[in-house]
Amino acid sequence: MTLPHKRILVAVLSVLLVAATASSGNASQTTDGQQDFDWEIGSWRTTVRVLAEPLSESADEWLQFSGTSVVRPLMDRRANVVELKIAGPSGRIEGLNLRLYEPQAKRWSLNFASMRDGVLTPAVFGGFRDGVGEFLGDDQLGGRPIKVRFLVFRQGPDQARFEQAFSGDGGATWETNWIAIDRRGR
């Protein structure tokens, strides 16, 4: 084989390799964030600690809950819904978290509704960077404006940690008030 033919062969093989890689559906090659939550699809056992009175003088009582979290894909994985059902000595929490991907902004919105009142809380917005999801938004607590931060830590294929924190001072300091540990399975 002559040198020009070898170069043509190498070029053709390179194009085929790039095309095969691009069509493989490998989530790690998607950089826009649309597949950031694909790893979470399925059923999880959930343990949750909730701060009884966030942003208060008596912010030291934690309530314990356990139950399940089921994540289902929607709209070709451009959205998903988390169905949370947990219970503990202080009662039950049931809710839905609707997550929607905004392709123009390359970010997710997380929209939680408690089944107790059926009202959506204001969304938090963000995405994943260096393996950690960070989502920020504004809300109210007791009639005063607060900032909300929600963090997602994937701790391997079968465990994840979720933390919610509030800030009453515009984001200068944060108080964690929700810690959930999810483990794969029922």
Torsions phi, psi for 93 (to 5 deg): -130, 125
Assigned CATH for 32-184: 2.40.128.20
* Contact between residue 9 and residue 1 where contact means Cβ atoms under 8 Å apart: yes
Tally of CB atoms within 10 A around 158:
10
CA angle 55, 58, 63 (to 5 degrees): 85
Res. 119: pLDDT tops 80: yes
- The pLDDT score that the predictor gives to residue 185 is 66
- The pLDDT score that the predictor gives to residue 6 is 40
The bridge status of strand 79-88 relative to strand 175-184 is: unpaired
The confidence band for 32, taking pLDDT boundaries of 50, 70 and 90, is confident
Residue type, 86: I
Per-residue pLDDT tens over the stretch 137-185? 999 999 999 999 999 999 999 999 999 999 999 999 999 999 999 999 6
Per-residue pLDDT tens over the stretch 60-116? 899 999 999 999 999 999 999 999 999 999 999 999 999 999 999 999 999 999 999
CA 94 to chain centre: 18
Domain boundaries, the chain: 1-30, 32-184
Of 52, 7, 14, the residue nearest 177 (C-alpha): 52
Q: Find all residues with CB under 8 Å of 119, minimum gap 6, and list them.
A: 113
